[in-house]
A and B are shown apart, each in its own frame.
Chain A
């Protein structure tokens, strides 16, 4: 996609580069070194540090390569005596007031200033005055500032303002007194993302979680996927002695580049929370007491086998059943955090060994409806099938328009929000928002269609040209906006003109409304792609892997004999044909005493309820990290390993498959996969495969969408699970059952897991920041 190019000469090398490229980029692309501090790709130009000075022929003085765009015939020298001298002087100047406390500075060993001085000299100083000293300041639980180390590159100020859209940092005073200042005098009130800390080339901004704890060369680095929201950022965990000391992504690999929100960067601390379960628990009377893995697994297997035997007997003897109260048998509630392999095996375990379709998880986005609606759409309009209908998260940055329906990405999907801001800032993308609240992204928006909560579908009908829907939207909204016919038509007309739209939607759009959304999207004049926003790290994977009462892996309807036969053949076991119960139904049935056994893996369906009400109502087995409401009601509790303690794959909300790598281990816990295998073995059943790699292989064979090239995923990259050209319509429409709703997490909460992150509980914004209301 090369536009017009120009020829330049740098140090006797001929380069051909796109017109308008910055000289510094042109040089770097060709492997010619131009040092810099303040230049930062993606942020506005600052030209503050003067490290990038080069000679340009015909220019009287040295020029900053970070601000000069290349022009035809430009002749540049980057290695002359004058340039070397300039670099040395700039460094001497920067060091004039620098404390040079590298031996105690957190940045030592990975400091850009240290590297530059090492490379370009300036080992002696002619500056004889006393250095100006300012005490270190704590701005928030995560951000500390050490002013004398600051080299005033303004990267922190720009990343907070432009990248984060927060603008919490500023530059005050001038000359030698210039300092970076937080937005509330002596402290920060912001998103606490830590972007400013990571982007700081020196040790001026340091992290509350990591400061004075370790040196970069004594740690091991494990890149894995953040276990919090559904965006699936890659976070590189720095580990020393089996302890995670920090999270960041400085190599900018992964779909998020260097972006991480507070959760990906700091909220790994739940791993070693004191209340973490480290031993199985078993109920003795009213008490849950510690026990061995052997006894726990043995007890569960024996009880389950007994229930199975009783049910099989009852099934063979229908007379007996009529006298007994009808029971639903086994219920299985899976997780939004466990790996694809675990989810796949859990539903396989449920459907084959436990002989039930009562399998579900907390559904936070209607992926099933989206996949289904898209399949129908492409069946109707084969031309559509040629285009990838689902957008990847980075696609947002390149789209010319984004339509956001509901959700509040700033709080719920920080990476999506970051990408949207980048699209608007760097590529002039136009953001259309349909929302019942005044969300922060309105600042970037091009058009806003305000409405009352629950009217999102009306807005879609309006966009499809249905006049009754237009009527329903007119008038004043609860947010105080006046919706006129002009506003509505203008919104529709503008959107209609867009050629490349990515539609991003939250739980406001579920079920049949998803089909409506796709219908609206297919009426737009150009390409339309979609992103459904679901809450947790593997919500999408839980859906894809068939942790659903009505769908087998890959959204194959459980009621469809052919679909069942395909899996039965492979699994060598019959699968029940009737659609199972949803989470809510299972919980309700339990309360009525209608479930023989309930198996809850990595979820807390009794959140906010009194565990007492459920004690003794069913044989409840809970496998989790903490003793939450559901576990408190359990008969057996099995301590599980978290995402940072195992390998496998997860699929983010955009459908990108990524790899988890084990960073640390917690004594006493086992991975969910290991637990499934032990339970099956203790029941005398076989559950294959038992290794994550083999499980992924089976998934790839059984779920065609996952049959994608793996090299990239294994190397730590991401691959979209839906092969764009191989999109296959589903055989039959799927019945929907169960609710789809978001937990409405904020930046500082993470379902019930967030309760166990100290850092998330420490930041004051957790209480100050309220969800933007209608006002």
Chain B
């Protein structure tokens, strides 16, 4: 299968960084996912081939890491942390609020493909709990109100 020249470039650089081919697996998957939105069977097979791995070996990795996905996500992928620190500071309530607000169950995407929602374990932002991650952007010390405001801003920026 064909990747875009930009992606090919990135992948080539990556491969050079690792003396053991398979070490490049996770970043390769991430780069491919960033560009394509998700990891298709085709992409998985292609990457497996390049790294001399079997498809099941790549699937193992994907299924282990929640940041890697095999289904398309929304334009804004909202990851709400409900691990200890966030939990103590209202993370669960925040997650519940997000579900109601967006009318989404975990793992689902809104019909307009704008938002998708996921409950995640600690994202390393404990000091600013509760935290959520939107794509690669972090948002700290959220309350339901600040969450709604964030959603409004994102909706505006769609156009």
Contacts and interface: CB of A to CB of B under 8 A. Distances in A.
A167 B64 contact: no
B56 A170 contact: yes
B63 A183 contact: no
Interface in A142-201: 167-174, 181, 183
A356 to B, nearest CB: 56
B84 interface: no
Contacts of B137: none
Nearest to A166: B54
A183 B55 contact: yes
A59 B10 CA distance: 43
Nearest to B121: A175
B59 A181 contact: yes
Contacts of B2: none
Contacts of B55: 183
B57 interface: yes
Contacts of B63: 172-174
Interface in B22-63: 54-57, 59-60, 63
A167 B57 CA distance: 9
A172 B59 CA distance: 7
Q: How large is the interface on A (under 10, 10 to 19, 20 to 34, 35 or more residues)?
A: 10 to 19
A172 B56 CA distance: 9
Nearest to B64: A174
B97 to A, nearest CB: 25
B106 to A, nearest CB: 14
A173 B64 contact: yes
A406 to B, nearest CB: 27
B119 to A, nearest CB: 13
Contacts of A172: 59-60, 63-64
B84 to A, nearest CB: 15
A168 B57 CA distance: 9
Nearest to A181: B56
Pick from A167, A168, A170 the residue with the most CB of B within 10 Å. Answer: A170
A180 to B, nearest CB: 10
A609 to B, nearest CB: 43
Interface in B76-120: none
Contacts of A181: 56, 59-60
Nearest to B53: A167
B64 A170 contact: no
A181 B63 CA distance: 11
Contacts of A171: 60
Contacts of B59: 170, 172, 181
Pick from B54, B56, B60, B63 the residue with the most CB of A within 10 Å. Answer: B56
A162 to B, nearest CB: 13
Pick from B54, B59, B60, B64 the residue with the most CB of A within 10 Å. Answer: B60
B67 to A, nearest CB: 12
B112 to A, nearest CB: 30
A410 to B, nearest CB: 17
Contacts of A167: 54, 56-57
Contacts of A173: 63-64
B54 A183 contact: yes
Interface in A524-550: none
Interface in A305-360: none
A168 B56 contact: yes
A170 B59 CA distance: 8
Interface string A491-527: 0000000000000000000000000000000000000
A46 to B, nearest CB: 14
A596 B55 CA distance: 61
A450 to B, nearest CB: 20
A170 B62 CA distance: 12
A167 B63 CA distance: 17
Contacts of A174: 63-64
B60 to A, nearest CB: 5
Nearest to A179: B63
B51 to A, nearest CB: 14
15 contacts: A167-B57, A169-B56, A170-B56, A170-B57, A170-B59, A170-B60, A172-B59, A172-B60, A172-B63, A173-B63, A174-B63, A174-B64, A181-B56, A181-B59, A183-B56
Given A169-B56, A174-B64, A183-B55, 4 more contacts: A170-B59, A170-B60, A172-B60, A181-B60
